Amino acid sequence: MIKPNKLTGILIIYCIIFYAIWAVWELCLNPQMTEHLQNPWLSNLLGDGIVKNLVWTLPAFLLMGKYAEHLQIPRKEMCRMKVNWLPWIPWLLLFFVYAAANPLLMNGHIGIAKDFHPSDFVWLAVVGITEESVFRGWLLNATIGKNNQWKAILLNALAFLAIHFPIWIHNGIFVSAFTSLGFVQIIALSILFSWSFVKTRSIAVPIILHVAYDLAVTVIG
């Protein structure tokens, strides 16, 4: 059995490698691939469907198996779908109300967002699985305990915020994400996803919440 301090070292090494690989992908490799292919469907399929699952989901599930004795929620248990969904339905509705509120107030009507492309459904289908597998299923699951729940959840929220930095830098919105307080939204969502995982002991709930939010804010405009 691995000692707690050694597990901390493993988690630090994992995060360094993971964040470094993803920064290189978002800042260098993905832009080049997108420019070369000039096909949003193929770019999303290769980038989000294949590369992201290889970098995010696969290592996370392998590490969950290797360090199973350190997880608060066993991998088999967290993959179950049979949970009480009722408390989380209002959140799903709230996401769509939130996404519709801005265009309704600004334009007097809601419709499809101007920058939405049908190929976005590729990454929308993947984003919840990949990101929740890493941040809730693996990192939170390996660090949370009965006496440090909120400390682990807040630390996880900061880690979740940091993984957005490369794409913000690439898109030129890194500074504005902070000056506009947009980063607070990322932290709040991470806390919600983490809390739903802890309460239900199922990764399915944060995945559905995550997908619903991204779907709402991406499609509605």
- Residue-wise pLDDT for 7-46, tens only, equals 899 999 999 999 999 999 999 999 999 999 989 999 999 9
Contact 99, 216 (CB under 8 A): yes
Given a cut of 50, is residue 209 above it in pLDDT? yes
How much of the chain exceeds pLDDT 70, in percent? 98
What confidence tier does 108 reach under pLDDT thresholds 50, 70, 90? confident
Q: Which residue has 């360094």 as its token pair? A: 16
Determine the pLDDT at residue 2. Answer: 52
Q: Which amino acid is at 60?
A: A
SS (H, E, C) 195-215: HHHHHHCCCHHHHHHHHHHHH
pLDDT at 1 over 50: no
Which residues, 6+ apart, have CB-to-CB distance to 2 below 8 Å?
A: 10, 67, 69, 70
* CA separation, residue 206 to residues 4, 91, 173 (Å): 26, 11, 26
Of the candidate ranges 80-84, 103-107, 206-210, the one whose mean pLDDT is the lowest? 103-107
Which helix (H) or strand (E) is 158 found in, with range? helix 149-162
pLDDT over 80 at 5, yes or no: no
Angstrom distances, CA of residue 91 to CA of 3, 6, 21, 80, 85:
38, 38, 33, 20, 11
Banded model confidence at residue 92, pLDDT cuts 50, 70, 90: very high
Q: Pick from 151, 129, 152: which is nearest to 141 by CA? A: 152
Nearest residue to 13 via CA among 156, 191, 139, 144: 139
Q: What's the predicted TM-score (pTM) here?
A: 0.94
Among residues of the chain, what percentage have pLDDT more than 90?
Answer: 88
Residue 4 has pLDDT above 60, yes or no: no
Backbone dihedral angles phi then psi of residue 163, each to the nearest 5 degrees: -70, -15
Domain count along the chain: 1
Whole-number Å distance between alpha carbons of 54 and 130: 9
Domain boundaries, position 52: 4-219
Mean pLDDT, range 73-90, rounded to an integer: 94
